[in-house]
Amino acid sequence: MSLQYDIYDVFTGHQWAGNALAVVHGADGLDDHAMQAIAAEFNLSETVFITEPRGREADWGLRIFTPVSELPFAGHPTVGAAVALTLKSDAKDGDVRRFVLEETVGDITADGRRNGPRHGSARFFVPRLPEQVGDLPEFDGIAAALGLKPGDLMDTSVQGGIWSAGVPFAIVPLRNAGALQSISLDPVAFADVFGGERPVGVYCVVKASETEHTTDWRTRMFAPHLGIMEDPATGGAAAAFAGLIAEQAGLGDGEHSVSLYQGVEMGRPSHIRLRLRIEASRLTELMIGGDAVKVAEGTLLLDQ
């Protein structure tokens, strides 16, 4: 048995940047154990398996795995899968294809655009709006886990919290870009503070400009419990963060575009685009978008 796969760099228009993603096509014959083993073999932040949908409304099913566990939803596999499906279709440069993608969290409507033979972009509405599901631990513990000083935290217009749009993340605002760059995880302290029965990834955020009003943010994400020491681009965390922005950043009613820049410290710069609609001071709609470029393709050889 053999299956075709592609490798995409996602949330970037340039190869060797962004977040690498394995896209496995025609994966209906794989069970959960095989999918997890293949994801561990690729050892990327995530691997997405494209299958026939279980429900009647979707065009394709997506199963998303980190090297150690399955996720109900993730942004960079959704963008990457939509671009991969668009490039495999009859689309010509500039054409857009719409797909309903069935993920564990729910059906997701995604638009994929072909920008070239190996390049595309995609955007999708999140199936579940983000909500706050908890409060941050004590500052001293957070600082110890991140290798920072307590004074490096929270000197910002947003106050943080644990938010989720399907996968929970502790949103930790930092004082400036220097603090963001200085993070050095203490694995033991990190497990003590953010582990336990319901471990969470940590999404550290800081305004991209310290001197001008901006809706751009610099971010870093850490999730050792998912087999991801640091991630160069995290759509699920971006979706969670959008809920915090809508509630705490004073954007006002209407549509707002927000850019998130991640992966800089890893040498894998990424750009995640958000579009928020706020009505009566509440987030009512959230779209996530980004680019992707195909960098490799191959064949998985599987024992019968």
**Sign of the CA dihedral running 205, 210, 212, 218:** negative
Q: What does each C-alpha distance from 157 to 21, 29, 151, 163, 173 come to in angstroms?
A: 34, 49, 15, 17, 9
DSSP per-residue codes, 165-230:
SSSEEEEEEBSSHHHHHT----HHHHHHHH-SSS--EEEEEEES-SSS--SEEEEEEEEGGGTEEE
Number of CB atoms found within 10 A of residue 55's CB:
9
Q: Is 139 exposed, middle or buried (0-12, 13-18, 19+ CB in 10 A)?
A: middle
Report the distance separating Cα 282 and Cα 6, nearest Å.
39
Cβ(152)–Cβ(174) under 8 Å? yes
DSSP per-residue codes, 117-156:
SSEEEEEEE-SS--EEEE----HHHHHHHHT--GGGB--S
SS3 label, residue 86: helix
**Sign of the CA dihedral running 103, 281, 256, 98:** positive
Token digits of residue 185: 């995880």
The residues annotated with a catalytic role in the active site are 46
Report the distance separating Cα 229 and Cα 185, nearest Å.
9
Number of CB atoms found within 10 A of residue 280's CB:
6
**Shortest CA distance to 163 belongs to which of 185, 132, 122?**
132
